[in-house]
Amino acid sequence: MSAPNELTTLTAAQMAAAMAAGEISSAELTRAHLDRIAATDDQVHAFLHVAGDAAMAAARAVDERRAAGEPLGPLAGVPLAAKDVFTTVDMPTTCGSKILAGWQPPYDATVIDRLRAAGVVIVGKTNMDEFAMGSSTENSAFGPSRNPWDLGRVPGGSSGGSAAAVAAFQAPLAIGTDTGGSIRQPAAVCGLVGVKPTYGGSSRYGVVAFASSLDTPGPLTRTVLDAALLHEAMSGHDPRDSTSLDAPVPPVVAAARHGDVAGLRVGVVAELSGEGYAPGVLSRFHEAVELLESLGAKVTEVSCPHFGYALPAYYLIAPSECSSNLARFDAMRYGLRAGDDGTASAEDVMSLTRQAGFGAEVKRRIMLGTYALSSGYYDAYYGKAQQVRTLIARDFSAAFDQVDVLVSPTTPTTAFPIGERADNPMAMYLADLCTIPGNLAGNAAISVPCGLAQEDGLPVGLQVMAPVLADDRLYRVAAAVEAALDQRRGHPLLAEANGITADREAGR
Amino acid sequence: MSITRDEVAHLARLSRLALSDDELDRFAGQLDVIIGAVARVQEVAAAGIPPTTHAAELANVFRPDVVQPCLGADVVLAQAPAAEQGRFRVPRILTED
């Protein structure tokens, strides 16, 4: 892959500063990113829709507002890639599914609305596992995205297109959604920062629902400060989402600017380690823990005895909610309609449409959820899973009585080759082993890069988890780790991505 | 064997999925493995443990009952698979008998 130019390798904060200083315009910046997308997306396939003219018009509008002296938000004029699960009035919203191919929603998601109001320039919609079900983007009806570190490997998922776009310097900012790890896992395997805010901290209005009690929008970026700036811009109470928390956004930007962990109590989760974890993941993780200790954090081991049951509980709860949520795809009011030949009944048309429009993983999960919710099985499956959810929340509460944050690897392995787990659903589900507990309890969590695994040279993520509405603690820890590792290395981790900085170092 | 091919066929009907025979064969095997794995939740001693349905403990979230504009019929019908006389056109919902 060709090298990105100087504009596209700036951080979002640097881009914003350069625009505020009048050194560059949003139009120039947006053009540079659209050019980068045009030059690389045939290889990366991060985007399902590129906004092109609409993005340029939005950029010029921000430039005009700036020229007129209007007050602008801290990210005004900065390009952003949005996962194709957020509704957008001016772009199709497909959720990576044939059943929504070409659907143009009649309204914007609250998160999109807020970003537009903040002057953020949306350059396109990114690829994802169909309806956010998956950990690799291989479940997209429109083909997989590829990991910019190694084009033969997955970028993670389900927000894999967003992660690939940011790692390939196609956009400095992206938004995704995290239901079981769908922001943190792709961030980890692409060498990025990814945040799942506290559940209810960011609005679900206009986010096509997968599992409503878990779905959480959040940022994917190259730096911790950029994630904090985006977190602040997109979050906050939304009366249109009944689960939105009526509370101030935690002071995430201030925390990201002062990455100080002296005296902070850090708990290493005993259960998220050992068998099934790649050696390189564990080495980098243990080094990150030692680093935190050297920076003054007080590290202890903490046991969360029910975390081992989080994955099975999740694969009952999420499919149950999905089987209900996806019942809305009935071929009547929007989306695909198949088999309507004038003689088929509405029920037949519904079944034929869902058969034609949904991919294998979505069908599996709808049936699994239907099974778990059916009378006779409800108590043994869905009911038990909900009790496990209580026990996991209690594990977190007990842990947060002893420590300020918990840490673990974000994923058990680095990015796996495309196709390796495609026919083995259980193997795919293991990618979310460490991230799911945070979703079940609704607390805040981040993945921040902590180096490359020695066996394959691919990125490893450190996960930091904090109590509900203590999102700022994530940024304190992540900023400290990022600063120390960047200083030790002499450059950001992403500068080592194959095909990107290799080209630059060779002067190409 | 925790789930049979016939049970998967029944689930597919309940789920309004007109699965092919090949899919029934494949999904039966996969769902059997998955259900076997998720059944581990039954190992947890959970007597007396209340269920958690939701991460955020919110109840009775109200908003002021104020009339607000809604989407126009033309906007909504623009994305309909079929429309007729300003309405959604749908397949027949009743059988002959």
- Residue A143 — pLDDT band, cuts 50, 70, 90? very high
Mean pLDDT value of segment A31-56: 97
Share of chain A above pLDDT 70, in %: 98
- Is residue A320 among the annotated active site residues? no
Q: Which candidate in B38, B84, B87 is best for mutational testing of the A interface (most A CBs within 10 A)? A: B38
**Chain B partners within 8 Å of A104 (Cβ):** 78-79
Q: Is the distance from CB of B72 to CB of A327 less than 8 angstroms?
A: no
Closest CA to A26 of A62, A57, A51, A54: A62
Q: How far is CA A368 from the centre of its chain?
A: 24
Q: Is the distance from CB of A132 to CB of A186 less than 8 angstroms?
A: no
Q: Which candidate in A216, A364, A384 is best for mutational testing of the B interface (most B CBs within 10 A)? A: A384
- Residue A90 — pLDDT band, cuts 50, 70, 90? very high
Give the tokens for residue A59. Answer: 């950029």
Closest residue in B to A312 (Cα) is B38
Helix (H) or strand (E) holding B89: none
- Residue A3 — pLDDT band, cuts 50, 70, 90? confident
ipTM value, please give it.
0.95
Residue A126 phi, psi dihedral angles, 5° rounding: -105, 155
Does B16 reach chain A within 8 Å, measured CB to CB?
A: yes
- Residue A1 — pLDDT band, cuts 50, 70, 90? confident
**pLDDT digits 0-9 by tens, A356-401:** 999 999 999 999 999 999 989 999 999 999 999 999 999 999 999 9
Closest CA to A48 of A58, A36, A37: A37
Neighbours of A294 (CB within 10 A): 10
Q: Is the distance from CB of A227 to CB of A73 less than 8 angstroms?
A: no
Q: Which of the following is catalytic: A158, A159, A202, A273?
A: A158
Task: Verify whether the Cβ–Cβ distance B43 to A309 is below 8 Å.
Answer: yes
Q: Is the distance from CB of A434 to CB of A271 less than 8 angstroms?
A: no
**Chain B partners within 8 Å of A381 (Cβ):** 38-39, 41
Q: Is the distance from CB of A227 to CB of A197 less than 8 angstroms?
A: no
Q: Please state, in angstroms and rounded to a whole number, the distance separating the CA atoms of residues A140 and A251.
A: 36
Neighbours of A239 (CB within 10 A): 14
Query: What is the SS3 assignment for A105?
Result: coil
Pairing of strands A193-196, A444-452: antiparallel
**pLDDT digits 0-9 by tens, A211-267:** 999 999 999 999 999 999 999 999 999 999 999 999 999 999 999 999 999 999 999
Does B47 reach chain A within 8 Å, measured CB to CB?
A: no
**Chain A partners within 8 Å of B70 (Cβ):** none
Residue A171 has pLDDT above 60, yes or no: yes
Q: Please state, in angstroms and rounded to a whole number, the distance separating the CA atoms of residues A54 and A121.
A: 9
Helix (H) or strand (E) holding A397: helix A384-402
- pTM value is 0.97
> What distances in angstroms separate CA A88 from CA A26, A52, A70, A129, one per listed residue?
21, 15, 25, 18
Q: DSSP states of A160-229 as a string?
A: HHHHHHHHTTS-SEEEEEESSSTTHHHHHHHT-EEEEPPTTSS--TTBPPSSTTT-EEEEEESSHHHHHH
Q: Which of residues 51-80 of B touch A (CB under 8 A)?
A: 51-56, 58, 61, 63, 71, 75-76, 78-80
Chain B nearest C-alpha distance from A496 (Å): 38
Query: What is the SS3 assignment for A298?
Result: strand
Closest CA to A482 of A470, A491, A473: A491
In whole numbers, what is the pLDDT of chain B averaged over residues?
91
Does B44 reach chain A within 8 Å, measured CB to CB?
A: yes
Q: Is the distance from CB of A84 to CB of A93 less than 8 angstroms?
A: yes
Task: Verify whether the Cβ–Cβ distance A391 to B46 is below 8 Å.
Answer: yes
**Chain A partners within 8 Å of B80 (Cβ):** 333-334
Residues B59-86: b if buried by 16+ CB within 10 A, e if exposed: eeeeeeeeeeeeeeeeeebebbbebeee
Q: DSSP states of A233-256 as a string?
A: HH-S--TTSTT---SPPP-HHHHH
- Residue B46 — pLDDT band, cuts 50, 70, 90? confident
In whole numbers, what is the pLDDT of chain A averaged over residues?
96
- Reading across the β-sheet that carries A121-126, which strands appear in turn? A47-50, A121-126, A79-83, A173-178, A216-221, A193-196, A444-452, A459-466, A405-409, A265-269, A298-302
- Is residue A158 among the annotated active site residues? yes
Closest CA to B19 of A362, A71, A145: A362
Q: DSSP states of B2-52 as a string?
A: -S-HHHHHHHHHHTT----HHHHHHHHHHHHHHHHHHGGGGGS--TTPPP-
Q: Which amino acid is at A452?
A: L
- Residue B97 — pLDDT band, cuts 50, 70, 90? low
Which range (A49-63, A84-98, B54-68, B77-91) has the least confidence? B54-68
Q: Is the distance from CB of A444 to CB of A465 less than 8 angstroms?
A: yes
Q: Please state, in angstroms and rounded to a whole number, the distance separating the CA atoms of residues A429 and A157.
A: 11
| pLDDT at res. B54 | 82
Residue A502 has pLDDT above 50, yes or no: no
- Residue B1 — pLDDT band, cuts 50, 70, 90? low
